[in-house]
Amino acid sequence: MPMDEFEARAGAYISQHQMLQKGDTVIVALSGGADSMALFHFLFSVQNVWGLRLRAAHVNHGLRGAAADGDAAFVRAQCAARGVPLDETLLSPPENAGEEWGRQERYAFFARLAQAHGAKVATAHTCSDNAETVLFNLARGSAARGAAGIPPVRGPYVRPLLWAQRADVLAYLARCGVPHVTDATNDTDAYARNRIRHGVLPALERAHPGAARSITRFAAEMSAVADYLEEQAGALLEQACVPRAVYLPGNIPDAYCAQTLAAAPAAVRHTALARLIAAAAPQQKMSLVPEADALLAKGEGAVQLCEGVWLSIRQGLLAVGPRPEPPRGEAGSWRQPFAPGVFAAPGGLLVEVQLVNYEKMVNSEKDVRNLLKFCADYGKIQDNPCFRTRRPGDMFRPAGRGVTKPLKKLFSEQRVPSAARDALPVLASGGTVLWAAGFGFAEGLAPDEFTKTAVTVTARQMEEVT
């Protein structure tokens, strides 16, 4: 008996996307409606030829009373007639339960079954569903991934009918004499998707026959675009990441160089920001991207993502975490404990403090004299100094100069730009500066023959390390 045209096209689509292999256990998400019954009948017809183990799953959302109970009974009867094992569940909906609640509960049930049976889950989404999804996502605000619509394969989920329109499904059921039930809620305009199904798509089909298929082809192109953007966004975040940065109270593990992010192409930058936002506030990721992008352009400030979580930019670093303390602009306001590690300093600098074995350092370095300009005997640094910006009255005795001078005068003599002076980090104990960015350590701290542990302090612009 020749294969039905519908079945031939479904088989070709499954092969094209490598959805199923011999020996697979396949769970059909079976509501009893036209689409799911068409998929169920098709897979039942080919299961022996393809070497599949077929099961079905039905969800009663508890929202439609006797009508839903009738659908469940219909599904049981169809599975029993074919000898197909059925898993079903009855949900207890909360007050004001909507479409999203039903979807989450439904997929949670499918996921548990897929794991329990080592199975794939086949859903009966069609080309028409895909077009509705794309239009719905675009209307509520979406990036490339939302415009990509429903993927043919995602994790354990396969969708063998994404090529078909509803007319194809109904014609197949009629030819095969397969019954189905009708969910009355699909005929109302109470849900946004129904309004798209009943009003928007038919209007588009009248204006441009074949609109649903055209939208589906567009979605496939956007899927490739989304894959590319996500790959590029991942590379951007890796490039911009400043590991171990001590950024905000609580030592947030990772931060990102704001300048590197801001310089990226807009589409890649937006995708990267959406990824950072989604980790904290998945429901808000696209709506907050414009605010986060404006923050990048500004270079300072914070945007709240959700309760207790903010996307913040301070001192050239972007991070997601607790709300930062309001920045203070006066000289001497910034402080950082003197300890090994990496931290962001004012002026877009990244400062790294390292403790090293002095003997090994001397033996391994070729240019020891140059290295000694940037290190000190760790044991000679006393009194719990801290990193900060300059303060009035700060005094500094640079190594090899033989003179102690006010830091203000030293900056002036070395022609440090006035705008940069208040941002340069120094290591100080009281009013005595032990190290200053661009000048190195003070006189009297250099390593000697008794040194066991040396400390190095380096300060670089953040873009130099990304």
Binding residues are 31-36
Q: What is the mean pLDDT of the chain?
A: 85
First to last CA, the chain: 64
* Three-state SS at 305: strand
Domain boundary among 226, 252, 271: 226
Q: How many domains does the chain have?
A: 3
Does residue 54 register a pLDDT over 90? yes
User: Please, are residues 229 and 289 in contact by the beta-carbon 8 Å criterion?
Assistant: no
Average pLDDT over residues 75-81: 97
Categorize the per-residue pLDDT at 289 as very low, low, confident or very high, splitting at 50, 70 and 90: confident
Q: Is residue 233 part of a domain?
A: no
Q: Interior CA angle at 230 toward 274 and 125, to 5°?
A: 90
- 278 and 373 belong to one structural domain: no
Q: Strand order in 341-345's β-sheet? A: 245-246, 341-345, 349-357, 453-461, 375-377
Q: Residue 19 corresponds to which tokens in the numbers above?
A: 């959805």
Q: According to the model, what pLDDT value does residue 186 have?
A: 72
C-alpha 241/C-alpha 276 separation (Å) is 12
Average pLDDT over residues 393-397: 87
Nearest CA to 466 out of 295, 300, 350 is that of 350
Categorize the per-residue pLDDT at 194 as very low, low, confident or very high, splitting at 50, 70 and 90: confident
Domain boundary among 173, 197, 226: 226
- 382 and 309 belong to one structural domain: no
Range of the domain at 259: 244-321
328-359 pLDDT, tens per residue?
444 446 778 888 888 778 777 788 888 888 88
Q: Is residue 256 part of a domain?
A: yes
Categorize the per-residue pLDDT at 367 as very low, low, confident or very high, splitting at 50, 70 and 90: low
> Which of 74-83, 115-124, 218-227, 429-438 has the lowest average pLDDT?
429-438
The DSSP secondary structure of 233-261, one letter per residue, reads HHHHHHHHEEETEE-STT--SEEEEHHHH
Q: Is residue 328 part of a domain?
A: no
Nearest CA to 26 out of 12, 9, 39 is that of 39
Does residue 91 register a pLDDT over 60? yes
- 366 and 299 belong to one structural domain: no
Q: According to the model, what pLDDT value does residue 119 have?
A: 97
Q: According to the model, what pLDDT value does residue 284 have?
A: 62
Q: What's the DSSP call for residue 4?
A: P
- 34 and 76 belong to one structural domain: yes
Q: Is residue 61 part of a domain?
A: yes
- 135 and 55 belong to one structural domain: yes
Average pLDDT over residues 190-201: 79
- 147 and 13 belong to one structural domain: yes
Could you give phi then psi for residue 447, rounded to 5 degrees? -65, 155
Q: Strand order in 301-306's β-sheet? A: 241-243, 254-257, 317-321, 309-314, 301-306
- 208 and 154 belong to one structural domain: yes
Amino acid in the structure at residue 457: V
CATH code for position 106 = 3.40.50.620
Q: According to the model, what pLDDT value does residue 102 have?
A: 86
- 128 and 221 belong to one structural domain: yes
Binding residues for ATP are 31-36
- 308 and 396 belong to one structural domain: no
Amino acid in the structure at residue 224: A
C-alpha 309/C-alpha 172 separation (Å) is 52
Domain boundary among 170, 197, 226: 226
Q: Is residue 441 part of a domain?
A: yes
User: Please, are residues 31 and 61 in contact by the beta-carbon 8 Å criterion?
Assistant: no
- 111 and 64 belong to one structural domain: yes
C-alpha 212/C-alpha 130 separation (Å) is 8
Average pLDDT over residues 266-295: 84
C-alpha 415/C-alpha 304 separation (Å) is 40
How many CA atoms lie within 13 Å of 273's alpha carbon, on the beta-carbon side? 32
C-alpha 199/C-alpha 17 separation (Å) is 31
Amino acid in the structure at residue 366: K
Q: What is the largest CA-CA distance in the chain?
A: 102
- 222 and 306 belong to one structural domain: no
Q: Is residue 203 part of a domain?
A: yes
Alpha-carbon 366 to chain mean position? 44
Identify each DSSP E strand in 117-161 by its residue range.
120-122, 153-154, 157-158
- 52 and 190 belong to one structural domain: yes
Does residue 227 register a pLDDT over 70? yes
Q: Is residue 347 part of a domain?
A: yes
